[in-house]
Structure 1
């Protein structure tokens, strides 16, 4: 089972730190000598080599210059930026509002053939109604204290639903039953969202499974994750989006998805759970 959704990012940080350390050693420099050449405290060199801090672009250029390896600087900077994109805090991602992030996600879905999704908290974005998305994004914006561009962000998120109907896309979704009951917005908003789930349930592009509250668990409830063609997994935590590409972890999440599928119900039984949640709203 997945141990830590941030371990791919940490492993990549450590790999970059190893490359920088080897560069210093190949140049025949001690950590203190490199620090003097770079003009910073030796403790900074230690923290970079231990992957405790991420080096900036200027740090990497100074490091390569000190080691006589300026030709490697741009490649290392590109690597560092890729590592940086693996673990992105929501406040940073939404620093100028949520619209840009939604447009980036749209592009990801556009090039994904099979999306496998497990959610334990909210309805996936490509299933969301405008009302539900507005209520949810309003809460995100308030909690994170980021700029309010909710109307534009909702439009960008809802646009993602076109892939349910267009192109060769497949969506295999597992949803904890509690998601059907969580109040995002008022009762009318949730009712509209549940009715929409009933509408998309028969689509050829959709497989929707509901994991009943009473199901005997073989896998405990996990954080929401989105597997894109088995090549990239996006995990959503309270504070960050984590992009996992490490094969071992992708295998673990795929295995977890298979096990969760075994305790989910589909077809008429899934429809029954959605209808029951709708009826409970009166």
Structure 2
């Protein structure tokens, strides 16, 4: 988990402890007051657990400070604005998050995306996207609204044909080989990648497996204009809007782009991987 996130959670825990101490109650007495095990009070005060809104309301009431609820909720909102739990985002399935993607794309003139082990969502075929959503729902144990999520992802791709927008992608060759779907689906996805290279709104770069790198790509990320960076982890999605983070990821983008091939070279590289699948 991010150091910044953990620091923020520890600061919130310190504030909760302060309110509890001011109430004159010991940790055990406070736990009895709210009907929790003492271990939960300890975890919240120590910044080891993120409190829910209901937890904060109960805490403020037990401390005799109901007016502090607004402040406490604002602190949690600040954490969740940057670090968004997949569990919470996908509570109703993937469609809602895809609708967010449509809105962010509509508000952006230049989108730059890096992917290491899979094809970017904006370039996915419906069948490939369906496999991505099915696997994500199974792994994260979230509702399976796969068809609705695929339709939303395809709607988002309409932006690729907007002459007022620009899309730049860098994909590591690993993503071309990573098989998360049947051969026929994977082959059609590679065909799709070769086809988008001709779009005047899209610039697609492929980093060959043997390319010399200034820095290895540790994970994928997306830059929306110069206002937002989105990074996906297994448990959370980070939305980073501070200037330092944007500059850091732009530097990573620049360094990775140096090692990528474009145009006909990229097409030939994709074609070589496609040929391994035969007539699929």
Q: Which is further off, 103-112 or 8-17?
A: 8-17
1:95-174 matches, cutoff 5 A: 95-166=91-162, 168-174=164-170
- Secondary structure of 2:206's aligned partner: strand
Question: Do residues 239 (structure 1) and 235 (structure 2) align?
Answer: yes
Change (3 A) 1:136 1:65: closer
Note the residue ranges of structure 2 that are not aligned, 5 or more in a row. none
Paired position in structure 1 for 2:33:
39
Offset at residue 128 of structure 1 (A) = 0.7
Q: Using structure 2 for the length normalisation, give the TM-score.
A: 0.83
Question: Do residues 267 (structure 1) and 274 (structure 2) align?
Answer: no
**CA distance, structure 1, for counterparts of residue 91 and residue 210 of structure 2:** 40
- Secondary structure of 1:188's aligned partner: helix
**CA distance, structure 1, for counterparts of residue 115 and residue 127 of structure 2:** 19
1:1-282 matches, cutoff 5 A: 6-17=2-13, 20=16, 24=19, 32=26, 36=30, 39-40=33-34, 44=40, 46-64=42-60, 70-166=66-162, 168-282=164-278
Offset at residue 91 of structure 1 (A) = 4.1
Q: Which is further off, 36-45 or 72-81?
A: 36-45
Larger RCO, structures 1/2 (Cα 8 Å, 6+ apart): 1
**CA distance, structure 1, for counterparts of residue 7 and residue 243 of structure 2:** 12
Tell me if the contact between 2:27 and 2:42 (Cα under 8 Å) persists in the aligned partners. Answer: no
**CA distance, structure 1, for counterparts of residue 148 and residue 127 of structure 2:** 13
**CA distance, structure 2, for counterparts of residue 112 and residue 8 of structure 1:** 27
Q: Which is further off, 60-69 or 106-115?
A: 60-69
Tell me if the contact between 1:225 and 1:233 (Cα under 8 Å) persists in the aligned partners. Answer: yes
What's the CA shift string for 1:49-106, capped at 9, x where partnerless? 4322223324433554566754442243133134235334434433332222211222
- Secondary structure of 1:251's aligned partner: helix
Note the residue ranges of structure 1 that are not aligned, 5 or more in a row. none
Change (3 A) 1:31 1:84: farther
Change (3 A) 1:77 1:255: same
Tell me if the contact between 2:33 and 2:62 (Cα under 8 Å) persists in the aligned partners. Answer: no
Tell me if the contact between 2:162 and 2:201 (Cα under 8 Å) persists in the aligned partners. Answer: no
**CA distance, structure 2, for counterparts of residue 46 and residue 145 of structure 1:** 29
- Secondary structure of 1:276's aligned partner: helix
Change (3 A) 1:16 1:28: closer
Tell me if the contact between 2:116 and 2:219 (Cα under 8 Å) persists in the aligned partners. Answer: yes
Tell me if the contact between 1:37 and 1:66 (Cα under 8 Å) persists in the aligned partners. Answer: no
Tell me if the contact between 2:171 and 2:207 (Cα under 8 Å) persists in the aligned partners. Answer: yes
**CA distance, structure 2, for counterparts of residue 90 and residue 28 of structure 1:** 35
RMSD, aligned α-carbons: 3.0
**CA distance, structure 2, for counterparts of residue 155 and residue 48 of structure 1:** 40
